[in-house]
Structure 1
Amino acid sequence: MARDERVTVISDDAGEFGKAVDGSQLVRGRILDWFHIAMKFKAAKISVFGSQTMEPHERIPVETEIDHAKWLVWHGTGRQSVFRIKALDATLLANKGYENSTLYWNLRRLYFYIENNAGTLVNYGMRHHKGLPISSSIPESAVNQVVTHRMAKKQQMRWTDEARRAMLGVEG
């Protein structure tokens, strides 16, 4: 990467990281990491399965609605997704005990997460189709593997300044 090349930053909603990135001249834009979005949807779907406030036959339509909302985010229409999740939440409020359920909290976490990060949502399907990154999970995993291997007690290795700079891209 050239020193003056502009980059798109993919991250979760980590506030401190966002503050550091927002002031940079080299940042083209920020994208909310698809992996983190998918995990929020997964938590909501899992809580449907374990919900005590619904009959088993009622769970499939709720899971389907969550899948539709996820599809909308994947295709860049986060606001429509939030609308559908809020409508689902409002419908489920009729169920006794729903306000105290895990599903209630996971759905609310999900729509607040999407709503609060609407400015960093993109058409993930289009980016994926073009071969552009939609998540930081692959580089994060690679860094974790290297660091874990390097720091394992059996290895007895230390980082040299040159290796640290090369690995992290840190100047100084």
Structure 2
Amino acid sequence: MATFLPDQSARTFTTLRNRTLAIGKRIEEAERQQRWFENLNYPDRTQLELALAGDPASEFVFNVDTAHIPLIKRYGGRTFEAVVGHCGRGGRGDPPGPVFAFEGTHPKELKVTAALALKGQGYADRGEITVISDGAECLKRLAGMLPQPVAHILDWFHISMKVQPLAQLAATVPKHISNFENRVEKIRWRLWNGQAGRALALIARVRRDVSKDTVPSIWAHRADKLLETLQIYIRRNKGSVVNYAERYRDGKRVSTAPAEASVNRLVAKRFVKKQQMRWSRTGAHYLLKVRASVLNGDLSDRTKYEVPKQPIPGNIARFISPTPPLLKVA
């Protein structure tokens, strides 16, 4: 940042804010030039490739998540969404790849950002493409914007977070309700192994058994609400529940943990938790661009874009640099 903000000791925060947003605008303009001069519309792959065992680097993984930022009151509304994610190659434990962030969930912005991220990872119409998200509709649409076929996976972390309260509730289960803890573990096991249909059937049976209690209780009401939340979540994302155990054994990613961590670094501390300020959409968009570039360490490269030189046709090249005539022999 010192390269672009030489006067770090600004007298007012307004000066520092305006300079930072100006850098974000330069990044946006450089990205627009790259979109214009480079062909980022990758064709769909007509031939599927065989999965190579022990080669997680052949997979391009998008870890994406959304965050809510407080909106300035005069613009109407309370919050607006921002998208934060990573695009990288490799398996579980490998670097997740550069982070990208922008305001809004517009399909065009999602598509172009994903195309730029694929180009940065060296995508050349080969390799598997996987999108891992929490099941938000705007992020599920991202899978349809990428070169097909694309696999969309529901984040295991969010599934586990909805099962964990049920496991904790099992510690206070009434005596007349038997085998509740074991059935919760069976639900978790079936989801971990990609058996979404069997998990939904077991959830429905547990809800019926809990509702049979003739004497209403706070425990039964709480258990039914948690089971209903998990049931709705799995039912809406049934097609995105995969065999997580198999992916885990193959060393592949199963959660959006890198995106969750980036949300905390980019959005939560700056926009929500530590400094509870209200933002305009444009200001948040430019600031997210700058903060993502600083985290990636490529701020100076992202503020400029060199237009590729096109080859000059031969008939025009002769006019630009004509060859001298042959000397005649006397």
Measured against the shorter chain, the TM-score band is 0.7 to 0.9
Counterpart of 1:72 in structure 2: which amino acid? R
Q: 1:101 to 1:144 in 2, by over 3 A?
A: same
Report if the CA contact (8 A) 2:266-2:291 is conserved. Answer: no
Answer 1 or 2: higher relative contact order, Cα 8 Å, separation at least 6. 2
Report the Cα distance in structure 1 between the residues aligned to 2:209 and 2:195, rounded to whole angstroms.
Answer: 22
Q: 1:21 to 1:98 in 2, by over 3 A?
A: farther
TM-score by length of 2: 0.42
How far off is 1:49 after superposition?
4.0
Q: Which residue is 1:77 aligned to?
A: 195
Select which of 10, 20, 25 maps to 2:147.
25
TM-score (norm 1): 0.76
Aligned to 1:163: 293
Alignment of 1:1-172 (within 5 A): 1-4=121-124, 6-25=128-147, 28-49=150-171, 55=174, 57-58=175-176, 61-95=179-213, 96-97=215-216, 101-141=221-261, 143-144=262-263, 146-147=265-266, 160=290, 163=293, 166=296
Per the TM alignment, residue 15 of structure 1 is displaced from its structure 2 partner at its CA by 1.2
Counting aligned pairs with the same residue, the percent is 20
Aligned AA for 1:73?
L
How far residue 25 of structure 1 moved from its aligned partner, in angstroms, is 2.2
Q: Is the 8 A contact 2:143 2:151 kept in 1?
A: no
Question: AA paired with 2:293?
Answer: A
SS at match of 2:179: helix
Number of equivalent positions: 162
By percentage of residues, which structure has more helix?
1
Q: Deviations over 1:134-165 (max 9, x none)?
A: 00113431x246537x9588xxxx87599259
Question: CA–CA distance in 1 between the matches of 2:132 and 2:197?
Answer: 20
Q: Deviations over 1:37-90 (max 9, x none)?
A: 00010122334445xxx52x3566212101111101101111101111111111
Unaligned runs of 5+ in 2: 1-120, 276-286, 306-330
Q: Do the aligned partners of residues 161 and 47 (structure 1) sit closer, same or farther apart at CA in structure 2, a change above 3 Å counting?
A: closer
Structure 1 alignment gaps of length 5 or more? none
Change (3 A) 1:49 1:144: same
Q: Is the 8 A contact 1:11 1:31 kept in 2?
A: yes
Give the distance between the partners of 2:297 and 2:233, measured in 1 at CA.
32
What secondary structure is seen at the aligned counterpart in 2 of 1:30?
Answer: strand
Gap change, CA 1:97 and 1:20, over 3 Å in 2:
same
- What is the distance in 1 between the residues matched to 2:266 and 2:209? 47
2: CA distance, partners of 1:162 / 1:74: 33
> Distance between the aligned counterparts of 2:236 and 2:291, measured in 1?
39
CA distance in 2, matches of 1:105, 1:36: 17
Higher strand proportion (structure 1 or 2)? 2
Deviation at 1:98, TM superposition (A): 5.7
What amino acid is aligned across from residue 228 of structure 2 in structure 1?
Answer: R
